[in-house]
Amino acid sequence: MAVCTGCSLLCDDIEVTLESGRIARTKNLCRKGLGRFRSLYSERASPRADGSEVDVGDAISRAAEILSGAKRPLLFGWSNSTLEAQQAGIALARKLGGVIDDTSSFCQGPLMELVIRGQMPTGTLDDVRNFGDTLIYWGSDPTSSHPRHMSRFSYFPRGEKLQKGFEEDRTAFAVDVRESPTAKIVADGYFQIPPGGDAEFIEAILSVLDGKMPKVQDKKRMISFVTTLKKAKMGFIFPGLGLVYSLKDRLDLFSQLVARLNEGVPFRVIPMVGHYNMRGFNQTLFEQTGGINQVSFADGEARRGQENGIISALDSCDAALVVGSDPVSSLPAAFARKLAKIPVVVMDPHRNLTADLARVVIPTALSGLEAGGAALRMDGVRVELAPVVEGASPSDAEVLARIREVV
Amino acid sequence: MVGAMEIYQLTPKINCKKCGLPTCMAFAVALLAKEKNIEDCTPLLEPKYEAKLKKLREVMAPLASASETGLIIHDEKCYGCGNCVVACPVNVANDPRGSAIGLGPKSDKVILMVEDGVVKCLNPKECRRFGPNRIMCNLCTSTCPSKAIEFV
Ligand code: SF4
Ligand code: SF4
Ligand code: SF4
Ligand code: SF4
């Protein structure tokens, strides 16, 4: 059985058939995961330094040179790397006195921070399968982002306490600005809200909980929705980026709602982390420094602050190491232009836009397929990864260790 | 997908019983259920029904690819999400340690499973829509986010 690193569900029931060392057939892998597996054979990165093809050893030396020459290097990416690589990355940042940040910085970070700090009740996906009878997909569309979420854990499978599965034992709702494929599946449980309407919707639930009339949505429907929530034996909310972006600095409103629901029944929150090991990075950095992202090791001390998030750090950093991430395509163009002005080292299994503008490119193994290690699933459960095929490139962890030896 | 009424419109509508059935409507239903072939209606092969015959062959073509239960899979629409695999009552009954609890099938008696990112139909005859005690089960189609499974 192989593990899929296509998303943060880390499905571990994947059957792979090899033919002459190549992946020929797979079972149980969703289409998205299949894309990840097939990416073994397309658009692979090749080692480059200062515009010429070099060998991996030379690319690593050149990377070390750039990073040790920088006053304030930024080490960014990490959510597509193993726990071992993340640890090596944090150790490197410490040694360099640099800044380390990951994609959660402009993504699920604020919510994940509450979960990791223990300020938001959470649970595992196995709890969801066994006990979760009332589910809310909020600003998330697992069908597209985590295709097997509903079938492996949340809605369709039979659980210990839920032998009848979705037909009778589970009730699912979706709150979203558009009728996503997930909203279509939950059908009558779908609440459409206007863009930015999440705060109002939360307030409406709170009103009903207070015995008042909701200000938005159909009143009867809202009341029956809240009644269902109040009757949950164990409820789960799966918030996506839609909710985090919409609430911005009003995330406390969401905390307030979760706390209110928990006065009556257990309601847990599992953020729909995208990349396979974002949770791993946040948790590892938190354990080592007390911050889940945006940490600087300048002057030998770990400090957390917004100025260390990639968005601000690009103004102050004079070199960057980007690992398993493509900020040039995911950030607005203005930030990409800033990145283009400093020397960039990219470590990635694949060619991408950031690699195209980088001064040094170090190709790495595709984790879970060509290199082993471990990762944390979106719910914090540790999953071991073992290589499935042999690859030509070193793992992130190996490259980082080699850089650290020479800086 | 094509219905019995549409097929009926393409029969000779003369209720001659040569196909062994009492009416052309009954023949249309039997055609849809794959209990009869187009050629069983001999009058339809006469030159005057040439246009109808051609059209009928056209509308029946997609059904040829369907399994005996009439299940058609549209590969290009399938996410490989496994909802149908986990929801199918036959999968659940035959595979309590696999698809019933959300995992990939551990039994070879399942009807549906995901292979190379797309759902596959393995034992169509096990489907509850098949055989003498058939029922109108639709759990695989109603749990699918993209109408990738269809019955004809
Ligand atoms: S749901 Fe995610 S982890 Fe599971 S097979 Fe699909 S992409 Fe891979
Ligand atoms: S043989 Fe053809 S025309 Fe005659 S009853 Fe059957 S379907 Fe109708
Ligand atoms: S119709 Fe019912 S029994 Fe047949 S494959 Fe679909 S879910 Fe399974
Ligand atoms: S047929 Fe539909 S429900 Fe089944 S795996 Fe494909 S997309 Fe999912």
Same domain, A184 and A61: no
How confident is the model over A91-104, as a mean pLDDT?
93
Residues A209 and A65 in one domain: no
* Residue of B82, B86, B87 with shortest CB distance to A30: B82
B 42-71 → A contacts, CB under 8 A: none
* Atom in ligand 2 nearest the alpha carbon of residue B14: 3
**Does residue A335 lie in a domain region?**
yes
The pTM of the whole model exceeds 0.90: no
In a domain, A31, yes or no: no
Six-digit token pair at A80?
């597509």
Confidence of residue B65 (pLDDT cuts 50, 70, 90): low
Residue range A371-397, pLDDT digits in tens: 999 999 999 999 999 999 999 999 999
Q: Confirm whether A17 is domain-assigned.
A: no
CB A271 within 8 A of CB A108: yes
Check residue A103 and give its pLDDT. Answer: 87
Give nearest CA residue, ligand 4 atom 4.
Answer: B84
Tell me, yes or no, whether A259 and A331 share the same domain.
no
Residue A341 inside a domain? The answer is yes
Instruction: With beta carbons less than 8 A apart as the criterion, state whether B122 and B112 touch.
Output: yes
User: Hey, what amino acid is at B77?
Assistant: K
What interface predicted TM-score (ipTM) does this complex get? Answer: 0.91
CB contact under 8 A, B104 and A34: no
Does residue A387 form part of some domain? no
Same-domain check for residues A158 and A259: yes
Q: Is A368 left (phi over 0), alpha (psi -120 to 50) or beta?
A: left
Q: What local confidence, expressed as pLDDT, does residue B129 receive?
A: 84
3-state secondary structure of A92: helix
In a domain, A349, yes or no: yes
Q: H/E element holding A19?
A: strand A15-19
Closest residue by Cα to residue A288 from A89, A111, A123:
A89
As given in the structure block, the two tokens for residue A199 are 């705060």
Confidence of residue B36 (pLDDT cuts 50, 70, 90): confident
Residues A185 and A257 in one domain: yes
* Confidence at B63, pLDDT banded by 50, 70, 90: low
Task: Please give the distance, rounded to the nearest whole angstrom, from the Cα atom of residue A79 to the centre of ligand 1.
Answer: 15
Q: Which of A220, A240, A269 is the last residue of a domain?
A: A269
The CATH number linked to A284 is: 3.40.50.740
Residue A25 lies in a domain: no
Query: CA nearest A5: which of A400, A374, A379?
Result: A374
pLDDT band at A107 (very low <50, low <70, confident <90, very high): confident
Say whether both A99 and A177 belong to one domain: no
Q: What structural domains does chain B harbor?
A: 4-65 (1.10.15.40), 71-151 (3.30.70)
Instruction: Check whether residue A53 and residue A156 sit in a common domain.
Output: no
Residue A368 is classified by DSSP as: T
DSSP A353: H
In the structure, what pLDDT confidence band is assigned to residue A79 with cuts at 50, 70 and 90? Answer: very high
Q: Does B143 touch chain A (CB under 8 A)?
A: yes
Q: Which domain holds residue A250?
A: 109-269
Q: What is the position in ligand 4's atom list of the atom closest to the CA of B80?
A: 5
Residues A354 and A219 in one domain: no
pLDDT tier at A91 (50, 70, 90 boundaries)?
Answer: very high
A37 within domain boundaries: no
Pair of tokens at residue A118: 């223990």
Query: Under DSSP, is residue A61 helix (H, G, I), strand (E, B) or coil?
Result: helix
Number of structural domains chain A divides into: 2
Q: Which of A269, A286, A321 is the last residue of a domain?
A: A269
Same-domain check for residues A144 and A93: no
Q: Is the pLDDT of residue B123 over 70?
A: yes
Which SS3 state, helix, strand or coil, does residue A402 take? helix
**Do A114 and A180 share a domain, yes or no?**
yes
Q: What is the pLDDT of residues A145-180, one digit of tens each?
A: 999 999 999 999 998 877 777 777 899 999 999 999
Structure tokens at B107: 């039994």
**What average pLDDT does this structure show over B42-70?**
81
The two structure tokens encoding residue A109: 């970070």
Kindly state the tokens that stand for A396: 């992130």
H or E segment to which residue A281 belongs: helix A278-289
Same domain (yes/no): A306, A208: no
Q: How far apart are CA A383 and CA B42, in angstroms?
A: 64
**Tokens, residue A196:** 């930015």
> Of the residues A237, A254, A269, which one is the last residue of a structural domain?
A269
> Do A120 and A221 fall within a single domain?
yes
CATH at residue A247? 3.40.228.10
As for ligand 2, residues whose beta carbon falls within 6 Å of it are: B 11-12, 14-19, 21, 24, 27, 41, 43-44
Write out pLDDT tens, residues A210-224. Answer: 999 988 888 999 999
